[in-house]
């Protein structure tokens, strides 16, 4: 299984970016896909996840209303549209797959630790830097 992220860049505060993640060796059917991020000196945190079968989503409070997750199951791809970017959004962004997702995607939002530990496969990340 390989997950490859792309789209990270240097952008000014208030700007937008679209991250992409393409998977090989796996199909998304029945799985959940997620975006996570890790800033220097901080723990990795869940940003958003989506259920491949029904499109239900969950977002971290810090990105609600600014980020949108989506999938293209035919392309084995998951995307993260980011707008109104802030310097605190700067981080390495990772995509991940949970092959045994919970019944309710909102479960992920109950615990960052559980959200992170639920993922089975990870990409290597793409760097997003937001300048002030």
φ/ψ (deg, to 5) at 107:
-55, -35
The 10 Å CB-count burial string (b at 16+, else e) for 14-34 is eeebebbbbbeeeebeebbbb
pLDDT in tens, 57-85: 999 999 999 999 999 988 999 999 999 99
For residue 29, pLDDT beyond 90: no
């Amino acid at each position: 299984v390989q997950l490859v992220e792309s789209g990270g860049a240097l952008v000014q505060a208030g700007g937008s970016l679209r991250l992409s993640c393409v998977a090989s060796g796996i199909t998304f059917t029945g799985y959940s896909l997620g975006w996570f991020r890790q800033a220097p000196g901080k723990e990795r945190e869940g940003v958003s996840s989506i259920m491949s079968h029904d499109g239900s989503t969950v977002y971290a409070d810090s990105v609600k209303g600014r980020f949108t997750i989506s999938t293209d199951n035919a392309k084995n791809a998951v995307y993260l549209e980011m707008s109104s970017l802030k310097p605190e959004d700067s981080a390495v962004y990772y995509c991940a797959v949970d092959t045994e997702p919970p019944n309710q995607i909102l479960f992920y939002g109950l615990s960052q630790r559980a959200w992170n530990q639920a993922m089975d496969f990870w990409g290597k990340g793409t760097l997003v830097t937001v300048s002030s």
